[in-house]
């Protein structure tokens, strides 16, 4: 019997990662339900009124912004935190001892979280259309899709990087929370950034890829445009971040817990 091929293995790994996700209620809640709750909250607070500085309605602004937040969260947090906890539990070490190629294991995580991200985005946009009547345009959907793919690939790579540099699962949780949430505010995902916002906000936000993800994705849902709304500059910037994060993540990745935090202490108390 020969070893199974790459495609069936990747499919199996993807299914396995998705299964674990959906059987971890807290992860499923924060990825799929929590962003929707934000949409309902913002919808109740601001309704379908117009943001004067931007000339679009609040819901037309918030729905794609929250979709971007969901997609980033689904990839960045789930890969970063999930992988670091698997290392804590010795699961990564077990995997490394099997003939499963490392890249297929990580590939399964990336594909699964991209599919989950797609689900959360479709859910968000669907609720936006059905409940708040936001506008979508067939003309810009290719740009929205490509932006989604580049953005999630970028944040999946950043998740891998977080997993690589976090000594423990708890550290990974702290790192993702301390980066994604503040960046989401800075990048105008929760509060629209207008000309009257302080300039430093934009300066800082524009270093990181989240504001580009937002800008490129939101461009596809801006009323009154006529083109395909591809934002190549933002896509290129995200791709650059993604590639650098991926290379560093692979380089620094560890399959075993560092000795100082757990193993050595355990060995000592045993003897």
Partner 1 sequence: MPAIEIRGLTKSYGEVEAVRGIDLTVEEGEVFALLGPNGAGKTTTVEILEGHRTSTSGEVTVLGHDPARGEIEFQDRVGIVLQETSVEAELTVREALTIYGGAYSKRLEPQRLVEIVGLNEKVDARIGTLSGGQKRRLELALGIVGDPDLIFLDEPTTGFDPSARREAWSVIDNLRSLGKTILLTTHYMDEAQNLSDRVAVIANGLIVAEGTPETLGGRELSASKASFATPAGVSVPFDHAIEGDRIVVELTDPARQLHEVTGWALEAGVDLDDLSVSRPSLEDVYLALTEDT
> How far is the C-alpha of 218 from the C-alpha of 63, rounded, in Å?
9
> If contact means CB under 5 to 8 A according to the sort of partner, which of ligand ADP, partner 1, none does residue 139 touch?
none
Residue 259 binds ligand ADP (CB under 6 A): yes
Q: How long a stretch of residues is the chain?
A: 271
The stretch near partner 1 (CB under 8 A) out of 19-27, 47-55, 211-219, 246-254 is: 19-27
Residue 93 binds partner 1 (CB under 8 A): yes
Cβ atoms within 10 Å of 51's Cβ, excluding its own:
15
> How far is the C-alpha of 64 from the C-alpha of 222, rounded, in Å?
10
In the stretch 109-148, what mask flags binding to ligand ADP with x, by CB under 6 A? Answer: ----------------------------------------
Backbone angles phi, psi at 208, to 5 degrees: -95, 160
Whose tokens are 């890969």? That residue is 79
Residue 16 binds partner 1 (CB under 8 A): yes
**Helical residues (DSSP H) of the chain, grouped into ranges:** 6-22, 25-28, 34-46, 58-72, 78-88, 91-96, 102-132, 141-165, 169-186, 199-205, 209-219, 232-252, 263-270
The stretch near ligand ADP (CB under 6 A) out of 52-60, 161-169, 180-188, 262-270 is: 262-270
Residue 12 binds partner 1 (CB under 8 A): yes
The contact set with partner 1 (CB under 8 A) reads: 1-4, 9, 12-13, 16, 19-20, 23-24, 86, 89-91, 93-94, 96-101, 104, 256, 259, 263, 266-267, 270-271
The contact set with ligand ADP (CB under 6 A) reads: 259, 263-264, 267
């Amino acid at each position: 019997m020969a070893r199974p091929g790459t495609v069936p293995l990747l499919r199996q790994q993807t299914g396995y990662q998705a299964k674990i996700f959906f059987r971890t209620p807290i992860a499923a809640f924060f990825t799929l339900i929590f962003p929707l709750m934000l949409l309902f909250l913002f919808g109740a607070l601001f309704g379908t009124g117009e943001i004067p500085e931007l000339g679009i309605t609040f819901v037309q602004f918030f729905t794609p912004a929250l979709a971007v937040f969901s997609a980033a969260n689904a990839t960045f947090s789930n890969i970063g935190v999930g992988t670091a906890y698997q290392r804590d539990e010795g699961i990564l070490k077990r995997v490394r001892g099997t003939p499963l190629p490392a890249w297929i294991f990580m590939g399964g995580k990336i594909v699964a979280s991209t599919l989950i991200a797609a689900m959360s985005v479709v859910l968000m946009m669907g609720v936006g259309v059905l409940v708040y009547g936001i506008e979508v345009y067939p003309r810009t959907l290719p740009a929205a899709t490509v932006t989604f793919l580049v953005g999630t690939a970028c944040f999946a790579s950043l998740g891998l990087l977080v997993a690589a540099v976090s000594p423990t699962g708890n550290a990974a949780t702290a790192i993702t929370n301390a980066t994604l949430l503040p960046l989401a505010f800075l990048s105008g995902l929760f509060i629209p950034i207008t000309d009257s916002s302080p300039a430093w906000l934009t300066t800082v936000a524009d270093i990181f890829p989240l504001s580009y993800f937002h800008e490129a994705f939101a461009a596809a849902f801006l009323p009154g445009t006529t083109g395909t709304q591809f934002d190549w500059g933002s896509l290129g910037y995200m791709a650059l971040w993604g590639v650098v994060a991926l290379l560093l993540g692979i380089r620094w990745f560890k399959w075993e817990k560092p000795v100082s935090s757990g193993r050595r202490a355990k060995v000592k108390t045993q003897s």
